[in-house]
């Protein structure tokens, strides 16, 4: 890996972590789209998982007093079932599948009528959320827009939303590291898959992870100055804009393959 590519990954990690520090999502979509463009899918998933686990984990620490731990515990139950479902097949998506899924998810989430939106504080909702988010996170690499559907009708404040989403996303990305770094890799070695590439130079992580923490700190300062109303309005606008770009990229790749 060239120093220029490593530097670009570190810079994007900082910028996207700052965006996620404000809205609790969006940044992860941009990061996944960029990493999938410059790296093989499995390597992109590993890099994205490490950066996002660090950024979300640090954001959870910064906002730890606002985390709803009861929701998180129930979310983990669904996560276990989601991981168990995919672990047996060791599925690795293609770049076309990844981009198309990334692009479609924000629009699918926005299309869900508010009266159908699931309140994550209700019985069974957090468990179902953990299950669905795990499946999507291991397929597209990002599940933030859909995760937001479970929070839009809650009575939680913006700080509680960001904090609780941060700790759930930390768990989601740690699961992604386990899935692609251990389960998928082991399956690939059994079938002698020469295209499997998850190992990246350690110094790439050493450069990107601290910058993701700095970006998270910068994002929190912006979040503290926003109102709950502006937070919800701009969250959807930015996510849909990112989804449009990723969807176009996926369609371009699909047409290119044809």
What tens digit of pLDDT does each residue of 81-92 get? 999 888 877 677
Residues in the chain: 258
Per DSSP (E only), the strands in 38-186 are none
Which of 16, 9, 29, 195 minimizes the C-alpha distance to 101? Answer: 29
Confidence of residue 192 (pLDDT cuts 50, 70, 90): very low
**Mean pLDDT in residue range 197-211:** 75
Gap between the Cα atoms of 107 and 219, Å rounded: 25
DSSP, collapsed to helix, strand or coil, labels residue 96 as helix
> CA 86 from chain center: how many Å?
17
Domains identified in the chain, total number: 1
Q: What is the pLDDT of residues 117-132, one digit of tens each?
A: 678 888 888 999 999 9
Q: Which residue has the tokens 């371009």?
A: 252
Other beta carbons within 10 angstroms of residue 27's beta carbon come to 32
Q: How far is the C-alpha of 21 from the C-alpha of 103, rounded, in Å?
A: 21
Q: Which residue has the higher pLDDT, 29 or 10?
A: 10
First to last CA, the chain: 30
* Higher pLDDT among residues 242 and 8, named by residue: 8
Buried b vs exposed e over 116-133: b needs ≥16 C-beta within 10 Å?
ebbbbbeeebbbbbbbbb
Q: Which residue has the higher pLDDT, 11 or 200?
A: 11
Cβ atoms of 147 and 165 within 8 Å: the answer is yes
Residue 133 pLDDT > 60:
yes
Report pLDDT for 97.
83
Interhelix angle 125-140/158-178, nearest 10 degrees:
50
- Full domain range(s) for residue 204: 3-257
Q: How far is residue 244's CA from residue 249's CA, in Å, rounded to a whole number?
A: 9
SS3 assignment, position 24 = coil
Segment of 66-70, 175-179, 226-230, 237-241 carrying the highest mean pLDDT: 66-70
Question: How does DSSP classify residue 26?
Answer: S
pLDDT of residue 197: 45
Question: Does 195 score more than 50 pLDDT?
Answer: no
**pTM score above 0.85:** no
Is the pLDDT reported for residue 193 higher than 50?
no
pLDDT digits (tens, 9 = 90+) for 15-27: 988 887 777 667 7
């Amino acid at each position: 890996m060239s120093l220029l590519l490593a530097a670009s990954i570190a810079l994007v990690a900082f910028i996207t972590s700052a965006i996620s520090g404000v809205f609790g999502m969006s940044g992860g979509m941009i990061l996944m789209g960029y990493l999938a463009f410059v790296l093989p899918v499995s390597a992109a998933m590993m890099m994205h998982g490490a950066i996002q686990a660090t950024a979300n984990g640090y954001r959870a620490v910064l906002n730890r007093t606002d985390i709803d731990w009861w929701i998180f515990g129930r979310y983990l139950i669904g996560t276990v079932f989601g991981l168990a479902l995919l672990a047996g097949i060791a599925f690795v998506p293609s770049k076309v599948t990844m981009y198309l899924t990334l692009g479609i998810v924000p629009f699918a989430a926005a299309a869900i009528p508010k009266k159908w939106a699931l309140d994550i504080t209700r019985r069974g909702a957090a468990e179902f959320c953990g299950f669905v988010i795990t499946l999507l996170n291991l397929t597209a690499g990002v599940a933030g827009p859909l995760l937001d559907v479970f929070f839009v009708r809650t009575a939680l404040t913006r700080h509680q939303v960001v904090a609780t989403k941060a700790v759930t996303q930390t768990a989601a990305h740690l699961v992604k590291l386990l899935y692609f770094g251990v389960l998928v890799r082991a399956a690939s070695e059994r079938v002698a898959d020469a295209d499997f590439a998850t190992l990246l130079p350690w110094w790439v992580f050493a450069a990107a992870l601290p910058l993701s923490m700095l970006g998270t700190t910068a994002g929190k300062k912006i979040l503290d100055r926003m109102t709950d109303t502006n937070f919800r309005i701009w969250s959807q606008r930015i996510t849909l804009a990112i989804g449009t770009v990723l969807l176009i990229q996926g369609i371009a790749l699909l047409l290119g393959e044809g």
